[in-house]
Structure 1
Amino acid sequence: MTDSNVETEDAPKKASKLPLIIGLVLALVGGGGGFFAVYSGMLFGSEPASTASAETVETSKDALPDVGYVALAPFIVSLTSDGPASLLRFAAQLEVPHEHLDEVERVKPRIIDVLNGYLRALSAEDIESPDALVKLRAQMLRRVQIVTGSERVSDLLVMEFVLS
């Protein structure tokens, strides 16, 4: 009996990697199938993706959004730096849903005050980079939406932006 015990202790069995490989393959197939089901709209979709996109194209061609524009009077702002450009002339218009035009028109002085304060804090170096207008526009729109409410102003259109 002692001889048989010696043989089993010397040769331990090596664990098989087959269950690990099968589990990994099944996880990849399941993940890919789940992604496809959600992406194609089979899961969590109220209607087929092709019908929804066709209706969106039809409505976007026929009707423009019902918006109006509130013009902000042009104003000149002195910049904080002592560089060659020390003045900024700025004019903008606000894109507003038609039902909120009167409300936004009433708070126009507060909007101009907020924009004036923000633009005065800038230096010429902040404005001179090529992508500065995009960043400044986003910052100004966010400040205007805080004053008016986010659903009242949908966009800020820069009409004049001149450094002198």
Structure 2
Amino acid sequence: MSTSRSTPPGARQPLPGFLPGDLGWHLGMILRGHQLAMAQSVAPVPGQVRGYQLLSTVVHRDPANQQALGSHLGIDRTVLTYLIDELVEANLVERVAAPSDRRARKIIATAQGARLLEELELKVNAAEQELLAGLSDAQSTQLAGLISTLSATIHNAQPGANPCEAVDQLG
């Protein structure tokens, strides 16, 4: 009697070297390592990692309004409002009328916020490079491309998905 399992028609073989479910464990370990490195790197920002991501998004992606910002980050609008309040209080961002709709608010970085982001990006880059230290430059480049493609595919399929909820469920 054979003990080999057959793969259902149309299904792919398990990932090489992985048991079904191992991918989640590996991704969780990577995420934990990244969380620790990020938390130390962005500690000066209110909201820490979320605050850093918000500041980075308004500087580099220039979302049209607060709703677009929340959608991009996958942050609930109530949580987003409190986070923006903290960043406004710290003089890192400000709310202005959105050019496309004066009733909506656009979040922009202050000069102080932009300077802090530049400093933090150096720390975040160093932390990410340390996290990837076990990979060659070619492997790091390949990993970055693969992660970018996979996350964009998932985001497009589930545009309202909240990555923060996934992180919260890991604990």
Q: When the two structures are superposed, what TM-score results if normalisation uses the length of structure 1?
A: 0.25
Task: Give the number of the structure whose residues are more often helix, by fraction.
Answer: 2
Q: When the two structures are superposed, what TM-score results if normalisation uses the length of structure 2?
A: 0.24
Task: Give the number of the structure whose residues are more often strand, by fraction.
Answer: 1
